[in-house]
Structure 1
Amino acid sequence: MPLTQTKQCANCPWKVDPDLSQIPGYSRENHEALKGTIANPNFDLLDQLTSPKVAMGCHYSTDDKLLECVAGIYHQLRNNNLPLRLILMRCATRPQATNQIKDLEIDGAQRATLAEILKD
């Protein structure tokens, strides 16, 4: 399935500036539940490949429509999240998704980790 978006939201929780309590659709509880989408260097390779991981969802997602978090994907690719890389490789084989990964747009200063976001 191709990505639904490639540009980071203006008020993305990964950005340093936004006040999390002012972000539309943001839920700390939902964000904490996404810890399973984060690369974990303590997992062995087999565990990373077999455990059910998903891409982090955008705070604008609804029950009816899941939007991927562009910043979540960007940061996890940099952190060598193997399950996410495999998911995106499958997406990239489809013609409409071929250039999406290289087209990811991040805007401004970013928090480096999910833990940084959750400490606010």
Structure 2
Amino acid sequence: MLLTQTKQCANCPWKVNRDLSKIPDYNRENHEALQRTIADPSLDLLEQLADSNVAMGCHYSTDEKILECVGWIYHQIRNNNLLLRLVLMRSGQIKDLEVDGEQRATFAETLKD
């Protein structure tokens, strides 16, 4: 797996200093549904791997081009998403990830304005 982008966008919901109203076509219900993309550290490795194909896409994705959410990746590699960490280490792109500013610590915080 190679990432299509490695820099966090300006209106990423993971950034503390962002405005949800500036996210193109923002939909709160769709945002809340992304809870399923968050790794559960209470699961053992095999349980985590069983549901490993779920990722959060960037809000700038289109039907033609899916972009990964760099804020989500940054959060997940630090919070027990072991498969994602291994995939990024293997691709060599883990060193290229760039986030912009203070980040929210939990998914629930991304829903706050």
Normalization by structure 2: what TM-score? 0.86
Alignment of structure 1 residues 57-96 onto 2, 5 Å:
57-89=57-89, 92=91
What runs of 5+ residues in structure 2 fail to find an aligned partner? none
| Compared CA separation, residues 52 and 109, structure 1 to 2 (3 A) | closer
Deviations 1:14-73 (A, max 9, x none): 111212122224332222222222111222222111124322110111222210011110
Note if contact 2:41-2:79 (Cα within 8 Å) is conserved in structure 1.
no
In 2: Cα distance, 1:83 partner to 1:25 partner: 30
Q: CA deviation at 1:89?
A: 4.4
Which of residues 94, 97, 101 in structure 2 aligns to 1:101? 94
In 1: Cα distance, 2:102 partner to 2:85 partner: 24
In 2: Cα distance, 1:18 partner to 1:31 partner: 15
In 2: Cα distance, 1:43 partner to 1:62 partner: 32
Q: Does 1:53 align with 2:58?
A: no
Counterpart of 1:112? 105
| Stretches of 4+ aligned residues off by more than 6 angstroms | none
RMSD of equivalent CA atoms: 1.8
Counterpart code for 2:20: L
In 2: Cα distance, 1:26 partner to 1:83 partner: 29
Note if contact 2:55-2:68 (Cα within 8 Å) is conserved in structure 1.
yes
Q: Percent identity, please.
A: 74
Count of residue pairs the alignment pairs up: 113
